[in-house]
Amino acid sequence: MKSLREADLYEPVRRWFQSALSRRFPRCHVAAYDTSRVRLSSFIAQLGLQTSFPQSNVWDIKVDVTAFLTGRKNHVAFVECKNKPVTLQDIGQLLGYSLVARPVAAILLSTEPPSDILRSLLTVYGRYDILVYNHTTGGQMLVARWDTTRGGILHAETLPPGRHL
């Protein structure tokens, strides 16, 4: 079977993410975009959302898929896509983005299971603390496996276990 390019994941993940967030936050307007090729600060300015996200002028980051949740409160949500086993370096990338923008959800997903080293760090040594990006709200990234056939995440394989969007 031919392996997918990372970019091939963006559109199906975008659709799934928008739907999942709309179910989780029914009082918000949710719009998800492929933002893999643009700086998030520039994209927000293009959409005219600077007043909804006043700190966005310093969000000099490129996130694969970004969702904007607008309503009484405004939030962003991120997904980083990989077509290889997720590593500690990948965690660091999304953690950095999340520390900057403090999203309501941050998901690192891959078509492959996490690397053996990362899986051991999380499950054997219990180091789920490396996934926390906001200690005030309990913001913690989710590591998930993408099911290309079903077009969604495999809930039984999420880390931390049992945590879902």
Please give the residue that has the higher pLDDT: either 4 or 82. Answer: 82
The answer to whether position 140 is within a domain reads yes
**Domain count for the chain:** 1
The answer to whether position 164 is within a domain reads no
Nearest CA among 89, 101, 106 for reference residue 140: 106
The answer to whether position 165 is within a domain reads no
- HSE-up of 42 (CA within 13 Å, CB side)? 9
The answer to whether position 2 is within a domain reads no
The answer to whether position 130 is within a domain reads yes
The answer to whether position 106 is within a domain reads yes
Nearest CA among 113, 106, 89 for reference residue 165: 106
Q: Would you place residue 1 in the very low, low, confident or very high pLDDT band (cuts 50, 70, 90)?
A: very low
Lowest mean pLDDT among 19-33, 51-65, 106-120, 151-165: 151-165
The answer to whether position 162 is within a domain reads no
Q: Is the distance from CB of 7 to CB of 82 less than 8 angstroms?
A: no
Q: Is the distance from CB of 62 to CB of 10 less than 8 angstroms?
A: no
The CATH number that applies at residue 141 is: 3.40.1350
**pTM score:** 0.95
Which range of residues forms the domain containing residue 131?
7-157
Check pLDDT > 80 for residue 164: no
